[in-house]
Structure 1
Amino acid sequence: MYRVLAACFILISISVVADDSVVDSERNRIIPIQLSFPSGRNSCSITSKCSVTFLSAGYGVPHTKYQFLGESFTKLGYLVVAIGHELADDPPLSVSGNLFETRSENWQRGSHTLRVVRSELRDKYPEFDFENLVLAGHSNGGDISAWLALESPAFVDKLITLDHRRVPIPRSDSIAVLSVRASDFEADDGVLPTKLEQALYESCILKIPNSRHNDISDLGPESLKSNIQHIVHRWLAKASCQL
C-alpha cells in the first residue's frame, strides 16, 4: 500500500505550502512532494472540484525550486504538487548514446512516480480534480510529463513543458499543449509539433528571446521568471498563445 507521511504547513501570502512524502512500497521509494494549496481552497468541494497541477523539476534541480511557476497556478485556484523524482540511489541520467533510448528508463520511472502520487492524493484530497490533471515540467521533468501524457492520456487535460528536449509532445485533440522554449538549445527532431500540427491541434509553442535553459528555476533572472509566469497565466486563463 501507499501512504502519505505527516506534513508541515507554512502559511504564505497566496497559498499554503506543505512538504510531504508519498511512500511507494511496491518500489521501496519515498517520494518527496510539496503541496501548494490555493488561498481559495475552502471553495473546493467534492461536487465542485478544483484543478490540480503536477510539477516536475529539471534533472539536478530540487523540486522545491519552482515556486515562481507554482504561483501562476495557485493564483488561478490550482493545487500544485511539486514532485521529487531523483533519489540518492537512482542511476545517473545517461549522457551518451541515443539519449531517447538510454534515458527512457528515467522517464518510465518518473511516469510511474506521477501515477503513484496521483493514486494516493486523489483519495486523500477528494475536493481536487485528479481526473483532469495539468502536467508541467522543466527539462527532464518536461520529458517525464510528456511521457506520461503519451502513456496515460485519459486523465491528462493539459501539458506544459519548459524547454524539454527529448520526448515528443502528444499530437492530440484531447490534451492542450503549451511548450515554452529557451533560446540556447533546440529540441530533438520530432519533439515539437510542426506549424501544421500546431494549427491542427491548437498547441502553443513559444520561444523566449535571449533566454537560457539552465535559468528556468527560482534561481534564474527575475525578467525570465516573470515572462514565464505571464505566458502560463495567460494561456491557462484565456488560452492565449503569445509572448
Structure 2
Amino acid sequence: MKYLFELVVVYLCLLHTADAKIIEDAARQRQIPVEISAPMHQEACTAKHQCPVALVSSGYGMGHTQYTFATDALNKLGYLTVAIAHELPLDPPLSVTGNLYQTRSENWRRGAATLAFIRTALKEQYPNYDFDSLLLFGHSNGGDISAWLANEGKPYIKTVITLDNRRVPLPRSETIGVLSIRGSDFPADAGVLPTTAEQTQFGSCVVQLPAARHNDMADSGPPQLRDSMAMLITEYLGGATCSTLRKQAH
C-alpha cells in the first residue's frame, strides 16, 4: 500500500512539472526565457473547457522563477502559469533618477509588449487554455508592467494581481478585477492605488500586509509572508470579499 501511494505521488509530480524554454520574438530580436507550469489537474483542460492562464512578471533584478509560492497556488486553482524574464542582458538598466514615471516608461512599454507577444505566441500552442481572459501577476516593476498593459485597454485581460507595484496606476475598470497586496516599507506613488471610493466603484481591492518588506515578496522572503500572499491570492480568486481578505491579512 505504501509503495502504491509513493507511485501516485511520483505520478502527480510528473504531471505537475515546469517547462523552461526560450521564445523568440524575431521582430524585436529578443530571446525571451519563460517557465511554463501546468495546472495540478491538467487532464481537465480541453479545447472545449479551457483552463485559465496567468502571466507572471518578476520584480526588477529578481529571477522570473522566484515566485513559486504564487505559481504553485495558481496551479492548484487550475491555472497554466507562464513566468517571463523581462530583463535581457543588452537591455538598458532601470532608471533610478529623474521623474521615474517618465524615465522608466520605456521599460514598462517594452514589458507590456513582451506580455502581449507571449500571449500570441502561446495561444495556438496551448489550445486547452484560455488566453482571452488572462490574469496578469507581477511583483514591483513586474506589477508596473502588468498594470501598464492592463491600462492599454486590451480585451483579453480579466484580472490583475500585483505585489507592491509602486509607479504605474492600477486599472480603474469595471471589466478588470484588481488585487494589490502591499508591503509596509515603501509607499506607492500618488495615484497608483485606487482610492476607497474607486475600490467600491470598480470592485478592486488593496490589502496591506503588516511588517512585509518590499524585497521579501518573493520566494526568498520569510515562509510566513509567502504563505500569507499565497493565501490572499487563493482566497481572492475564490471569491472572498476585500474586507475578508483584509481581516485575514492581520
What is the CA-CA distance between 1:239 and the residue it aligns to?
Answer: 3.6
What is the CA-CA distance between 1:229 and the residue it aligns to?
Answer: 0.5
* Alignment check: 8 A CA contact 1:16 1:39 kept: no
> Which residue does 1:3 correspond to in 2?
none
Determine the C-alpha separation between the residues in 2 that align with 1:152 and 1:173. 12
> Which residue does 2:144 correspond to in 1?
143
Q: Which runs of structure 2 are paired with 1:176-215 in the superposition (5 Å)?
A: 176-215=177-216
Q: Which has the higher helix share?
A: 2
SS state at 1:19 partner: strand
Q: Which runs of structure 2 are paired with 1:1-243 in the superposition (5 Å)?
A: 12=13, 15-241=16-242, 242=245, 243=249
From the CA coordinates, give the structure whose radius of gyration is larger: 2
Determine the C-alpha separation between the residues in 2 that align with 1:74 and 1:116. 22
- Label 1:13 to 1:163 Cα distance change in 2 as closer, same or farther (>3 A): farther
Q: Which runs of 5+ in 2 are unaligned?
A: 1-11
* Alignment check: 8 A CA contact 1:14 1:39 kept: yes
What is the CA-CA distance between 1:74 and the residue it aligns to?
Answer: 0.3
SS state at 1:142 partner: helix
Question: TM-score, with normalisation over the residues of structure 2?
Answer: 0.91
- Label 1:100 to 1:14 Cα distance change in 2 as closer, same or farther (>3 A): farther
What is the CA-CA distance between 1:42 and the residue it aligns to?
Answer: 1.0
Determine the C-alpha separation between the residues in 2 that align with 1:13 and 1:209. 37
* Alignment check: 8 A CA contact 1:14 1:74 kept: no
> Which residue does 1:4 correspond to in 2?
none
* Alignment check: 8 A CA contact 1:16 1:38 kept: no
What is the CA-CA distance between 1:118 and the residue it aligns to?
Answer: 0.4
SS state at 1:153 partner: coil
Q: Which runs of 5+ in 1 are unaligned?
A: 1-10
Q: Which of 13-22 and 141-150 deviates more?
A: 13-22
SS state at 2:150 partner: helix
- Label 1:236 to 1:14 Cα distance change in 2 as closer, same or farther (>3 A): farther
What is the CA-CA distance between 1:180 and the residue it aligns to?
Answer: 0.2
Question: TM-score, with normalisation over the residues of structure 1?
Answer: 0.94
> Which residue does 2:5 correspond to in 1?
none
SS state at 2:66 partner: coil
Letter of the 2:134 counterpart? L
What is the CA-CA distance between 1:21 and the residue it aligns to?
Answer: 1.4
Letter of the 2:157 counterpart? V
Determine the C-alpha separation between the residues in 1 that align with 2:213 and 2:42. 35
- Label 1:66 to 1:13 Cα distance change in 2 as closer, same or farther (>3 A): farther
Determine the C-alpha separation between the residues in 1 that align with 2:46 and 2:97. 48
Letter of the 1:151 counterpart? E
What is the CA-CA distance between 1:13 and the residue it aligns to?
Answer: 7.2
Deviation string 1:15-45 (CA, Å, 9 cap, x unpaired) is 2211011100001100000001012111111
Letter of the 1:159 counterpart? V
Determine the C-alpha separation between the residues in 2 that align with 1:152 and 1:95. 28
> Percentage identity across aligned positions?
48
Determine the C-alpha separation between the residues in 2 that align with 1:195 and 1:182. 18
* Alignment check: 8 A CA contact 1:14 1:75 kept: no
- Label 1:158 to 1:209 Cα distance change in 2 as closer, same or farther (>3 A): same
Task: Report the aligned-residue RMSD.
Answer: 1.3
